[in-house]
Amino acid sequence: MARKGALRLIQGVREGRALSDLSDALRALPVADQARAARLAAETLRHQGRADAVIARLVARNPAPQIADVLRLGVVEMLELGAPAHGVVGAAVDLARGLGKRGQAAAGMVNAVLRKASACQGWADLPPQRLPEWLREPLAHAYDAATLLAIEAAHQQGAPLDLTVKPGATPPPGAEALPTGSFRLHGPVHVSALPGYDAGDWWVQDAAAALPARLLDPQPGERIVDLCAAPGGKTLQLAAAGAQVTALDISDARLRRVTENLTRCRLSADLVAADALDWRPATAPDAILLDAPCSATGTIRRHPDLPFIRDGHGIAELIALQAAMLDHALSILRPGGRLVFATCSLIPDEGEVQIDEALARHPGLMVERPDLPGIDPAWITEEGGLRLRPDYWADRGGMDGFYMARLRKPG
């Protein structure tokens, strides 16, 4: 059942839908099978390039797309996840037969190919899933070939679970303390069953995503606006520091999620549903956190479907939106106030270039170089921002790709 659900998810991604939007495809499965199906689908997408390399050695011509997905699922389950070959092969044959006449005709081929694949050597030596060209091209201008390969290898490894813990609270047992102040859990985790979840002692937040709020350095009593606040991790950080937080998002539905997170963690903030380009506060805030809409290319280790459902279309519009939001945020910030601009993107045009151009547009605007615990000086960029990459902390499980910079408005 889980394998059939995984195949539905993979085929949904081929149709352009995100894994997070495909929960209906698993609704009929028991909860345990839903989790297993989601994991199988994600691992198959992470390792598709390696699986295709194995399959290509064993077939005379490329299989039809649905049959190729059955073969990929089988190869990854055997060679990456270590499942016994006899069970995987039999299940794959059944999956193929369930695909109609074409699948029934291909069942014998699926059986033969996967039996041979189970004995393949050198799986660990195959190169990781290659980034799509629409993303690889801009990154190739920013990084050398070895760095690109390291980023791709980090994506293939997936991501552990990171937590931000409220001041004075205790992290769950077994959580690793990270140099920047986050905590990390490895292996499969049932989040809501962990100690401290119901008490609101912590929330799930990648270690890289936790740094923009720390870079802003919120102080008790300060008026701080979190633009584009949902799902609320940074709002929680600001509120936990004692700031008077206004959390703004354009979506009422997304703000409801912020409300749920604030309630569980016993924190408070003023929530506003509005367009960040139009909204103006009654009183100019002391600080603003702008985690701007972006390509989300820094989150591929968590979202292996992203390279398959995006084609680079719309990134130019996102870059223009980021610049407009940054200009508007500066216009509502009090003189002498500070603003952190952040994007969970690997593309320099959504990070370093945005800050260079903002400095050119706004005379007197300054970048304040980061001075945070656990930060490697090599992560600090020429203009004074902080560039994080998935291959950083490779021995600890990596981090999301992020860019952030703290700006000081002229007094």
Q: Could you give the residue ranges of the DSSP H alpha helices within 29-84?
A: 31-46, 48-56, 65-79
Question: Which CATH number goes with the domain that contains 77?
Answer: 1.10.940.10
Query: In the predicted model, is pLDDT for residue 223 greater than 90?
Result: yes
Q: Could you give the residue ranges of the DSSP H alpha helices within 174-230?
A: 211-216
The long-range contacts involving 376-384, CB below 8 angstroms and separated by at least 24 positions, are: 381/352, 382/352, 383/352, 383/355, 383/356, 383/359, 384/355
Q: Which residue, of 92, 125, 158, is where some domain finishes?
A: 125
Residue 29 falls inside a structural domain: yes
Q: What is the pTM of this model?
A: 0.94
Confidence at residue 102, expressed as pLDDT on a 0 to 100 scale: 87
Q: Which residue, of 125, 159, 182, is where some domain finishes?
A: 125
- Which DSSP category does 274 fall into? S
Residues 220 and 366 in one domain: yes
Residue 144 falls inside a structural domain: no
DSSP 287-326: EEEEE-----GGGTTT-TTHHHH--STTHHHHHHHHHHHH
Residues 398 and 285 in one domain: yes
Query: In the predicted model, is pLDDT for residue 321 greater than 90?
Result: yes
Residues 90 and 229 in one domain: no
Residue 184 falls inside a structural domain: no
Residues 81 and 213 in one domain: no
pLDDT band at residue 187, thresholds of 50, 70 and 90? confident
| CA–CA distance, 99 with 344 (Å, rounded to integer) | 38
| CA–CA distance, 134 with 352 (Å, rounded to integer) | 19
Query: In the predicted model, is pLDDT for residue 331 greater than 90?
Result: yes
Residue 195: count of CB within 10 angstroms of its CB: 12
Per annotation, catalytic residue among 228, 265, 294, 344:
344
Residue 135 falls inside a structural domain: no
**Among 122, 7, 132, 112, CA closest to 53:** 122
Question: Which CATH number goes with the domain that contains 288?
Answer: 3.40.50.150
Give whole-number Cα distances, 246 to 16, 227, 280, 377, in Å: 35, 8, 12, 32
Confidence at residue 58, expressed as pLDDT on a 0 to 100 scale: 95
Query: In the predicted model, is pLDDT for residue 361 greater than 90?
Result: yes
Residue 273 falls inside a structural domain: yes
By three-state DSSP, how is residue 160 classified? coil
Residues 121 and 247 in one domain: no
Q: Which residue, of 125, 147, 168, is where some domain finishes?
A: 125
Domain span at residue 224? 206-408
Q: What are the tens digits of pLDDT across the range 194-211? A: 999 999 999 999 999 999
pLDDT band at residue 77, thresholds of 50, 70 and 90? very high
Tally the domains of the chain: 2
**Among 11, 75, 2, CA closest to 36:** 2
Is 253 in contact with 304 (CB distance < 8 Å)?
Answer: no
Residues 359 and 270 in one domain: yes
Joined tokens for residue 349: 């045009």
Give whole-number Cα distances, 354 to 292, 322, 326, in Å: 11, 8, 9
- CA-angle at 96, arms to 95 and 99, nearest 5°: 95
| CA–CA distance, 155 with 3 (Å, rounded to integer) | 23
**Partners of 164 in beta bridges:** 203
Residues 287 and 399 in one domain: yes
Residue 138 falls inside a structural domain: no
Residues 213 and 121 in one domain: no
Residues 121 and 212 in one domain: no
Residues 120 and 262 in one domain: no
| CA–CA distance, 180 with 186 (Å, rounded to integer) | 17
pLDDT band at residue 314, thresholds of 50, 70 and 90? very high
**Among 114, 58, 107, 54, CA closest to 83:** 114
Residue whose entry in the numeric block shows the structure tokens 């002391």: 286
Residues 402 and 294 in one domain: yes
Please provide the average confidence, as pLDDT, over all residues in the chain. Answer: 95
- Buried-exposed string 7-41: b where 16+ CB fall within 10 A, e elsewhere: bbbbbbbeeebebeebeebbeebeeebbbbbbebb
Residue 212 falls inside a structural domain: yes
Task: Please say if 344 is a catalytic residue.
Answer: yes
What's the one-letter identity of residue 53?
A
By three-state DSSP, how is residue 273 classified? strand
| CA–CA distance, 333 with 305 (Å, rounded to integer) | 37
Return the axis-axis angle of helices 101-117 and 85-97, rounded to nearest 10°.
160
Element (H, E) at 244: strand 244-249
Residues 120 and 210 in one domain: no
Residue 178 falls inside a structural domain: no
Query: In the predicted model, is pLDDT for residue 27 greater than 90?
Result: no
Average pLDDT over residues 239-254: 96
